Amino acid sequence: MITIDLSGNTALVTGATGQLGQAMARTLASAGANVIIHYRRNKSQADTLVREIKHMGREALAVQGDVTDEDSVKKMRYRITSELRMPDIVVCNAIIKYDWKNVLKQSLNDYESQFLSCTLHVVLMAQAFVPTMIKNKWGRIIGINTECAMQCNPTQSAYVSGKRGMDGVLRVLAREVGEHGITVNQVAPGWTISKNNPDSAATKSYCKQVPLKRCGTDREIANAVVFLASDLADFITGAYLPVCGGNVMPAI
C-alpha cells in the first residue's frame, strides 16, 4: 500500500489565509505535517486555521510578515525558530493581487509587485530556510506557479513576467541544492473552483477548452503539493507540474 506520511515534517505555507493556501495547509496537516501559517493581514483567518490544525493533532503557528521584504522575512524566521522549528517543506504561495490590463496600459508598479511577490519572494524564502535544509540533508521547496506562464494571453503580462521569473530562480535553485537531498519543484494550477471563486458562466466557458472539461478544485492543487513534499517524489526536482486538466501541456 502506498501512503503519504509527513509525520515529523514541518511545512511553511506563505499566503496561507487565501482559499488555496488554506487548502494546502489543511492537506499538509492531514498528511501528518506540522504547519506554519504565514499571513500578511488576515490574522483572524490565520488564527482560525491554527486552531483547526491543532485540533487535528498537529503543531501549528501563525506568523505575520511581508515576503517581499528581507527584514520582515528575517523576523519571521526568528519567530519560527523561537516558537516551533525550522520548516523542511516551504510552499511559496503568496502573491500581490492587481487589476490585469494590456501591456500599453499596465502600471509599472504592477510589474514591480509581481516581481517582488513571485520572484524575489522565492529568493528570500530560499535564503532564509534552505541553509537549514542543507545542514539536515533533506528539504522541499515548492513554488505555486500558474498555467498562465505557458499561455501568455492578453492582459497577463505582469503576472506572467513575475511567474516566469519565479520559474527561472527555482530551476537554478534545483541544480544548486540537489546534491544536499533537497528538491525544488513547481505546481501550476489552472482555473480553480473554491469558496471565493465559485462555478460561473465564465468558468463554464473556460472549461470547454480543457481536455477534462472542468475546472480543478483547491484540494486537487493541494494534493499535488503534498505529493511533491513526500518521499514518493524523492527523485523529482526542477519540475513544472501543470494541475489544470490538460489545459496546458509542456512539450519536449
Residue 207: inside a domain: yes
Range of the domain at 131: 10-242
Return all residues near 105 (Cβ < 8 A) that are at least 6 apart: none
Residue 247: inside a domain: no
**In this prediction, what percent of the chain has a pLDDT beyond 70?**
98
CATH number of the domain residue 214 falls in: 3.40.50.720
Predicted TM-score (pTM) of this structure: 0.96
Q: Helix (H, G, I), strand (E, B), or coil: what is residue 143?
A: strand
Average pLDDT over residues 42-63: 98
AA letter at 14: T
Residue 159 catalytic?
yes
Q: Helix (H, G, I), strand (E, B), or coil: what is residue 111?
A: helix
1, 55, 221 from 144: Cα distances, Å: 29, 27, 9
21, 156, 213 from 216: Cα distances, Å: 15, 20, 10
Choice among 111, 159, 206, 240 that is catalytic:
159
**Total of domains in the chain:** 1
pLDDT over threshold 90, residue 195: no
200 falls in which pLDDT band (50, 70, 90)? confident
Residue 72: inside a domain: yes
Which of 198-219 are b and which e, b meaning 16 or more Cβ less than 10 Å from the residue's Cβ?
Answer: eeeeebeeebeebeeebbbebe
109-142 per-position pLDDT tens digit: 999 999 999 999 999 999 999 999 999 999 999 9
Residue 152: inside a domain: yes
Residue 200: inside a domain: yes
Residue 1: inside a domain: no
pLDDT over threshold 80, residue 43: yes
Listing DSSP states for 42-100 in one string gives -HHHHHHHHHHHHHTT--EEEEE--TT-HHHHHHHHHHHHHHS---SEEEE--------
244 falls in which pLDDT band (50, 70, 90)? very high
Residue 41: inside a domain: yes
Residue 4: inside a domain: no
